Amino acid sequence: MLVLLEEVFVDNCSTEGGKGFFGGDKIGYLDIALGGFLGWLKAAEKLVGVKLLDEKRTPELIGWAERFIADNAVKGVIPETEELLEFAKKYLPKA
């Protein structure tokens, strides 16, 4: 699914056309909806030991994620990976 999302981003929103986000030049609703999962995506990568966003298959999504996380509106909002890992380790066994 991430490769498909990469293709959609490249075809419709890529930085080649000056668009750094799904919403255009600035963060939009789709960026917020997808960006909200970035913390968990990084935590899942550490939990299972698999790189979900990799430079060969999803280079544009990696760039998007870096721009999203670096934006002043987002800084400090997405929980740190270690915090999410601790939460997951505590509650996953109960699920």
The residues facing 21 across adjacent strands are 24
Q: Could you give the domains of the chain?
A: 1-91 (1.20.1050.10)
What local confidence, expressed as pLDDT, does residue 66 receive?
95
Residue 35 has pLDDT above 90, yes or no: yes
Q: Structure tokens of 8?
A: 């959609």
Distance (Å, whole) CA 93 – CA 88: 8
40 is written with which tokens? Answer: 């968990």
Output the pLDDT for position 73: 92
Amino acid type, 41: L
* pTM score, whole prediction: 0.85
Rounded distance, CA 7 to CA 62, Å?
Answer: 13
pLDDT digits (tens, 9 = 90+) for 38-47: 999 999 999 8
